[in-house]
Chains A and B, each alone.
Chain A
Amino acid sequence: MKKYINPIGAGVILGIALFISFIIAGQGMGASGAFARATAQIAYTIDPDFANNAYAGKYLKSGNALINWTVIEVIGIFIGGFISALIAKRIKPEITRAPNYSKTKRLIFAFLGGVLVAIGTRLARGCTSGQALDGAAAMSVGAWIFMLAAFGAGFLVAFLFKNQWKGFK
C-alpha cells in the first residue's frame, strides 16, 4: 500500500482543482445534490406522480434529473477515487470500524448517519463539498454558519459513537 500524500499539499491541489471548477463551470464541486437527484429520479420511475412533489419536482421538470453537472461530476469522483486507489493498491472490501466493534451496529449507524446527513444537506443546500468547501472558498457567510454548526454538533455528540472508532489514530 502506498502512503497518503501530505495533507497541506493535498489541500492546495484540491484548491486548484476547485478553482478550475469555478472558472470553467461557474460553480464549485458538489456531491449531495447528485444523490438528491438520483433519489428523485428513482421515485419518479416508480411513481410518475412524484413529478408534483414540492421539492423533487424542480429536478424532474426538465426531463431526466440525472442530466446535470453535479451528477456527472460525482460519477467522476467515483472514477477518480477508483483510479487513485487502484494505483495505490488500496481497494479492499471492509467495514471500517474499531477492531471488536459489531459489524451490524456499524452498518446501522452508517445508514442512519446517512439519513441525517441527507436531511442536513437539504436544509443547508449542500454538504461538506457543495456548501462548506465551495461556499467558504467563495467567501460566503452561509458556508461558515453550516460548517461551524456541523463541526460543533459533531464535537458535542462524538462521545456517543466513540466505541465505533476506538483504537483509530
Chain B
Amino acid sequence: MDVVFPLYTSGFLDSTTNLWLALLIGIMFGFILERAGFSTSAHIAPLFYFRSTLVPKVMVAAITTTATLIFLGVVFGYIDFNNIFIPSTYVWAYLVGGLIFGVGMVMSGWCPGTAVTGVATAKIDAIFFLLGLMFGMFIYFYLYDAYEALREFANSANLGKFTINKLFNTPDLRVAYIATLVMSFGLLAFMIVMKKIADKKGDE
C-alpha cells in the first residue's frame, strides 16, 4: 500500500484544492485561537510575569497532541515523515532570532498569529503591531540585501531537517517523540511552579 499522507506533498491533492483547504485550516486555527482567549494581549503578556499559565497550557497541549498523532501515523505507516515540512535548524540564527522575537513579544503583547485574531476583534494595538511587523520585514529585506555579514550569519550552522533523535545520533523517531513529551511537560511544570511562586509573592 502506498503511504498517502500528507495528501498534498505525496501527490494526492492538486495545488488549487490545497489552497482552498488552507483557507479552511486557517479558519479552524483562528476560531480556536479566539476561543482560547488569544485575541487580546491582556491574556498573552501575563505569561512573561508568571501571572498566567494560559499560553504554555494551550501550546503544550497542542504540541503533545500533534506530536502523538504524527508519531502514531508514522509508526503505523500512514504518514511519510519525509514529506512533512520541518524548517531547517540554523542554530545561531534561531537563537538570536528567538531572543529578538521574545523582546518584541513582551514589548507588544502580540505575536503574528494572535495579532490577526486581535485585529478581527478590533484591537487597535494589534493593528499597530501588524504595521510594525510589516515595517520590520521591510527593514530585514533591506539589511539582508545590503550586508553580506547578515546573509552569512542567517545561513550559518545549518543542520538541515534536524529532529531531536539526530541529537542522539539515532534514526529512531521514538527518541524524538519521548524527548518532545519531556520538554513540553517540563516547560509546563516550570511555568506552573513559577506562577505558584509569583502568586505567593503577591501583587507587585
Q: When A8-B57, A15-B66 are in contact, do A78 and B120 touch as well, CB less than 8 Å? A: yes
Chain B residue contacts of A11, Cβ below 8 A: 36, 57-62, 65
- CA gap between A142 and B28 in the complex, in Å: 26
Residues of the A chain whose Cβ atoms lie less than 8 Å from the Cβ of B110: 110, 113-114, 117
- B162 adjacent to A120 (CB under 8 Å): no
Contact (A23, B30) CB under 8 Å given A17-B25, A69-B19, A153-B102: no
| CB contact list, B46-94 vs A, under 8 A | 46-49, 51-54, 57-67, 69-71, 73, 79, 83-91, 93-94
Please encode chain B, from 1 to 13, with 1 for each CB lying within 8 Å of some chain A CB and 0 for all others.
Answer: 0000111111001
With A16-B69, A110-B128, A139-B176 in contact, do A119 and B136 touch (Cβ < 8 Å)?
yes
Picked from A19, A127, A140, the residue with its CB within 8 Å of the CB of B161 is: A140
The answer for the CA separation of A85 and B83 in the assembled complex, in Å, is 35
Chain B residues in 8 Å Cβ range of A72: 19, 22-23, 26
Most buried by A among B25, B154, B164: B25
Select B62's contact among A14, A107, A127, beta carbons within 8 Å.
A14
Asked if B73 and A23 sit within 8 Å, CB to CB, the answer is yes
Give A92 to B119 CA distance when docked, in angstroms. Answer: 10
Tell me if B112 and A35 are in contact (CB < 8 A).
Answer: yes
CA distance A163 to B96 in the complex (A): 26
Cβ contact of A136, chosen from B34, B67, B138, B162, cutoff 8 A: B67
Q: Tell me which residues across on chain B come within 8 A of A30, comparing CB atoms.
A: 113
B39 near A81: Cβ-Cβ < 8 Å:
yes
CB-based nearest B residue for A142:
B89
A56 CA / B137 CA spacing, docked (Å): 9
- Docked-complex contact B69 and A15, CB < 8 angstroms: yes
List, in ascending order, chain B residues with CB within 8 A of A77's CB.
26-27, 29-30, 33, 113, 116-117, 120
Q: Is the CB of B177 within 8 A of A139?
A: yes
Within 8 A of B (CB), among A86-140: 88, 90-97, 106-107, 109-140
Report which A residues bind B (CB closer than 8 A). 4-5, 7-32, 34-36, 38-40, 42-43, 50, 53-56, 67, 69-70, 72-85, 88, 90-97, 106-107, 109-142, 144-155, 157-158, 160-162, 164-165, 168-169
18 more CB-based (< 8 A) A-B contacts, given A35-B137, A115-B136: A5-B36, A11-B58, A12-B61, A26-B7, A26-B83, A29-B25, A76-B25, A93-B123, A94-B123, A110-B125, A114-B131, A118-B134, A123-B93, A123-B96, A139-B165, A140-B162, A152-B102, A153-B101
The 3 closest A-B pairs by CB, nearest first: A76-B26, A11-B61, A113-B108
